[in-house]
Amino acid sequence: MGRVYDELEPVDVEGEKWDAPLPLGPEGLRYGTLPNGMKYYVRHCAKPKGRAALALAVRVGSIVEEEDERGIAHIVEHLAFNATDSYSNHDIVRLLERIGAEFGACQNAYTSADETVYTLTVPTDKEGLLDETLGVMAEMAFKIRCDPADLAKERGAVLEEWRMSRDAQGRLQEAHWQLIFTGSKYAERLPIGTEAVIRRCPAERVRAFHERWYRPQHMALVAVGDFADLDATVALISARMGGGASRSTAPPPPLPLHPVTPHAEPRYKVLVDRETQHPSVYVSYKHPRMRISTPADFLQHLALSVFEIALNTRLYKLTRQRAPAFASASVSDEPLCATAGSCVLMATALEGQVLPALEALLTEVARVRAHGFSEGEFKRAVAELVAEVENTALEADQGYSTDIRDEYVRHFLNNEFVTGQEYEARLSKTLMPQITREAVEACARRYRPSDSCVVKVVDHSRSCSEGQLTQVVERVAAAEAAGAIGPWEEPEAPEGLMEAPPEPLPLEQAVLSERHFPAPLDVTELTLCNGLRVAFKTTSYMRDEVHLTGFAVGGLSEVPQPLFYTSSLAGTLAGHLGVFGFPPEVLGDILAGRRVDLDISEGAYYRTMRGVQSPLDLETAFQLVHLLFTTQVKLQQQEVDNAVKLVRQGIEAQLRNPLHAYHQRVRLVNYGGCYYFRQLTLEDFEAVDPALALAHHNMSWRNPAEFRIVLTGNVDRAALEPLLCTYLATIPKTGLPPPKLPKEVTPLPYSFPEEPVVEDVKVSMVSPVAQAQITFPVSLSRPVAREELVWLSLVCRALETRLLQKMRFVAGDVYTVAVSPFFGCVAPSLDGDPAGDIAVMFSCDPANKQRLVGLVLEEVAALQSSEMSEEEVATLVNLDRLTFENSQAENSYWHDVVVTGYQSKSYQLLGGDLSAVYAKNMEAREKVLGGCTPATLRQAMCRLYPAPPTSRYTAIAMLPRPPGLFHRIGAALAARWFGTSGSFTSTALAPPPPGGRKRGPAAAEEEEDDEEEEAALAGAGVRGSLWGRLAGGGAAAGTAAGTAPASSVVAAAVVAGVAVSAGLMFWAKARRR
């Protein structure tokens, strides 16, 4: 590799050290046992500054439940936040939010089959806060109150979580869980439990479970953060936790172990659920859970990683063949439970092709057993792993406290080694030369039919039988035994992206002009000779990270409506052919071992390229940019036919999703029937012209003078300038018209209804659940739009907090509720007041829908007519400040500031002064936060929401279509025989996750990412980050630059491989609060 990797010092693993446990580290870690038997881990981490990530890990999950306790471990987890000796009904949540731990993002928990884990992230920069938080965690550990009144309040939220798990994916996952664990207690111990227990278990039983199992010997407290004194932190933990004990005086029962019994004969199952969107094949091979605690274990883990990289690359190449057997496929090693793991082969099949997909999967693993990997495959896979190791080394001291905390949680629960990133990188480099092709290829022997194999097909209709699955497995085994499976034919791939780099221009010729925006932005902008502008900001937040975004004004709103769907699918079709001059599978081989990422997209008003690069691979990223502009993608009928087949299957799959008709109606109503938000239909797709689509793509990515590229991160100007001269300045000029100005952009023709609209969209669904979205129009006065955006953030947070209190914590009617603003339709050409909307979204029992919609309207009216308390307002402001402080230590924040600043209306109005845009935004922010009082917040509610709220809004709900007579009879009998409610769904089978249920808002910190913001169509279209728009400044900063049309979101998702990945085995740990 010749870079940081080569400089890593080796680790001595000779002799007895080879099989000895790796040291728990790094140096400075405080680890020990309190007098009552509880373990503790304390470590310093300054990222984020002034914060600490805490976890209470309990080795107790649903596996210890008796038959009449199924779901109680999860109920106890819920009660921990709402009912302890010192806190009642939301008091803990309010307390933690008051000190800066936001509900969901900073207060969370999950229950799995084997453990329950509570996590908090709190400030450390104020005296007494850490001690107060540890007091809360001590209450969670030992003083959970299980009174009937407490339990009654929490049943509703748990039931709603159970209801949310009854969608197609949840049903299939449950069936999968039961299938793979047949013969084990795990099969009947999904953490969510049963509806009967959730509804009717008595408080005494819940209390007895808590007292029996919540023992300090089964617990660990992990604290990782910006601590001034680690020993003082240990003393606080000891004082708060060291004397804790169960209320029960009985000796603690031993924690049971439930090994999963191996089986030599494969198990087969065809699972049918009419709401399943894509036919999928899963082949699991169970094995004892791999423990990585010694160098020998770690070498085996590294070899398995190389095997998975190599085989996944090969499986991807199979999807690129003339008649692929599947749309996507993968191999992975997944933990199932405390005692078992599994090797998983997974494929998303083409319609009616599950048997060929299964045969192709099994054949490829058999081919590896028979012939191994080629030298090129092996080297590329090792190069990918080396790149990961180098990234680990570069950012060894830049890890986040939450990530490090979770490592120590896994050490406690599963004895996974934790040595610190630097030591791990050195150990990896030491062991890497010992990874042989033979050892990697031997991993394929873990994938044999006799190795506790479970073969499962998931489809929306019965396309095959278990007997046919058996025949496929036996046919492949026979072919392998007869030597009838030939070797892999490795396609040729060039060594690099370019045979030779372009002749570089002299710097004085390449760069025509330069300007600098001073600190705190500290951004330098260079205008190149071809009109391309490059802005860069150098930071030290992450050593191995450079964010790159390039954008041009003008997107799909400029396309004539008859060509809209053709143009919106241009990126999908071009991407399938290869936008950088190589087919995607060849490009993957060329880029092996390089940390580069560059995706392109087209929204309503902007064309965008973006990705995160290693500074060491910035040259490769710039080569891709050069190729993007100089490649004319040509029509290749075979490749286009494959892409068309995938997109058509995706459209058909959408129609099986109960949410499809609902989301379509929400968009239609809230945007006045705007064509941009209409879902692509098969009829629309038949009219798409692939040749015109590719022509649109080629024209969209041709003229460098239209684009501005922004770089943020570890950017070294001395290294950057030669790359600009070689790759970006040499992109040819074109004779095309001058770039479109923001003021010339064609706005989308959208409008919000003038009168209230209340509708129920009744759809056929297997498990009845209601989805509701109440949407209000919002308009920001242009002269004070900056301030109004800050006010809007506060009033949305205020409403969400109130609704959570009433709908979840008091009534228990919902699992969660979200309030979010959206300005994605505002064009950069708009001179008037920006208009957007505010959406309130939740799911619930269909019987409660009407009442809860009314409650939302009443709460908006209440916040308009009466003031929040001083404490509530202070909490809102404090949470806002803390969130903002954290974000300022991230490259992503500053990158969004620069990009959205350039795109903002303020940038136009302030004469292109990016510093002035940022300064005015910060001034507006401080003005609002400094002036936020109960009275001013109420006034903002009156300004930003319709007053009264019932004067102008939409309330659109998805409800189950009334079932037919036979279904009603079946449901009634089920309720009588099995103690279920009317939502009996035993005929709808499905697969699960292992382990557990996470509680927390959808925006959990580890799951956030920018692409999710841009692709998730949430009712009123794509709802993005308000803070990203505010940072860029001005109300119009929130334009639809990243608002992908419904058609391209569906198509791109399908071509990328839409199916649920093999990682679905983590589902049982899912659903954040």
How far CA 1057 is from CA of 650, 898, 937, in Å, comes to: 10, 32, 46
Residue 1006 has pLDDT above 80, yes or no: no
Which residues does 407 contact at the CB level (< 8 Å), separation at least 6? 416, 418
User: pTM for the full model?
Assistant: 0.89
Q: Which CATH architecture has domain 757-984+1013-1041?
A: 2-Layer Sandwich (3.30)
Q: What tokens appear for 297 in the block?
A: 């274990």
Contact by Cβ (8 Å): 178, 960 = no
Helix (H), strand (E) at residue 302: helix 295-319
Highest mean pLDDT among 618-622, 843-847, 1042-1046, 1061-1065: 618-622
What mean pLDDT, rounded, does the chain reach?
A: 88
Report whether the peptide linkage leading into residue 747 is cis, meaning its omega lies within 30 degrees of zero: no
CATH class of 509-563+575-635+693-740: alpha beta
Question: Would you tell me which CATH number, out of the four given (3.30.540.10, 3.30.450.40, 2.40.10.10, 3.30.830.10), belongs to the domain 267-481?
Answer: 3.30.830.10
Find the angle CA(205)-CA(1069)-CA(358) to the nearest 5 degrees: 125
Instruction: Determine phi and psi for 956, rounding to 5 degrees.
Output: -120, 130
Choosing from 65, 77, 275, 364, the catalytic residue is 77
Nearest to 440 by CA among 601, 554, 299, 335: 299
Q: What is the pLDDT of residue 700?
A: 97
Q: How many Å apart are CA 913 and CA 141, to the nearest integer?
A: 54
Indicate the SS3 state at residue 135.
helix
CB-facing half-sphere around the CA of 301: CA atoms within 13 A? 16
Q: Is 154 a catalytic residue?
A: yes
Q: What is the largest CA-CA distance in the chain?
A: 85
Residue whose entry in the numeric block shows the structure tokens 């039983």: 205
Q: What is the pLDDT of residue 1068?
A: 29
Nearest to 411 by CA among 14, 64, 36, 43: 43
Cβ of 624: how many Cβ atoms within 10 Å? 23
Read off the pLDDT band of 969 (50, 70, 90). low
pLDDT digits 0-9 by tens, 1026-1048: 223 223 333 232 333 345 676 65
Quote the percentage of the chain above a pLDDT of 70: 89
pLDDT digits 0-9 by tens, 21-47: 999 999 999 999 999 999 999 999 999
Read off the pLDDT band of 106 (50, 70, 90). low
Contact by Cβ (8 Å): 796, 821 = yes
Q: How many Å apart are CA 1040 and CA 483, to the nearest integer?
A: 57
Q: How many Å apart are CA 775 and CA 759, to the nearest integer?
A: 12
Q: Which amino acid is at 1047?
A: S
Q: What is the pLDDT of residue 1034?
A: 33
Q: How many Å apart are CA 965 and CA 977, to the nearest integer?
A: 18
Contact by Cβ (8 Å): 317, 324 = no
Q: What is the pLDDT of residue 996?
A: 36
Q: What is the pLDDT of residue 963?
A: 61
Q: What is the pLDDT of residue 809?
A: 84
Residue 447 has pLDDT above 70, yes or no: yes
Q: Is 127 a catalytic residue?
A: no
For 929-977, what is the HEC assignment?
HHCCCHHHHHHHHHHHCCCCHHHCCEEEEEEECCCCHHHHHHHHHHHHH
Q: In this predicted structure, which of 580-589, 629-638, 966-975 has the lowest mean pLDDT? A: 966-975
Where are the domains positioned within the chain?
Answer: 34-241, 267-481, 509-563+575-635+693-740, 757-984+1013-1041
Q: How many Å apart are CA 595 and CA 394, to the nearest integer?
A: 13
Find the angle CA(1068)-CA(1069)-CA(1073) to the nearest 5 degrees: 120
Residue 984 has pLDDT above 60, yes or no: no
Quote the percentage of the chain above a pLDDT of 90: 76
Q: What is the pLDDT of residue 1046?
A: 62
Nearest to 646 by CA among 347, 327, 318: 327
List the beta bridge partners of residue 221. Answer: 40, 56
Residue 1060 has pLDDT above 80, yes or no: no
Residue whose entry in the numeric block shows the structure tokens 């396609």: 491
DSSP conformational letter for 726: I
Residue 2 has pLDDT above 90, yes or no: no
Find the angle CA(712)-CA(717)-CA(718) to the nearest 5 degrees: 150
Nearest to 1003 by CA among 157, 104, 165: 104
Read off the pLDDT band of 707 (50, 70, 90). very high
Mean per-residue pLDDT, 1014-1035: 30
Choosing from 97, 154, 174, 545, the catalytic residue is 154
Mean per-residue pLDDT, 189-194: 95
Fold of 34-241: Cytochrome Bc1 Complex; Chain A, domain 1 (3.30.830)
Q: In this predicted structure, which of 78-87, 170-179, 616-625, 982-991 has the lowest mean pLDDT? A: 982-991
pLDDT digits 0-9 by tens, 111-149: 999 999 999 988 888 888 899 999 999 999 999 998 998
- Is 267-481's fold the same as 509-563+575-635+693-740's? yes
Give the strands of the sheet with 340-349, arranged side by side: 267-272, 453-459, 280-288, 340-349, 326-335
Measured in Å, how far apart are the chain's first and last C-alpha atoms? 43
Q: Which residue has the higher pLDDT, 386 or 95?
A: 386
Q: Which amino acid is at 475?
A: R
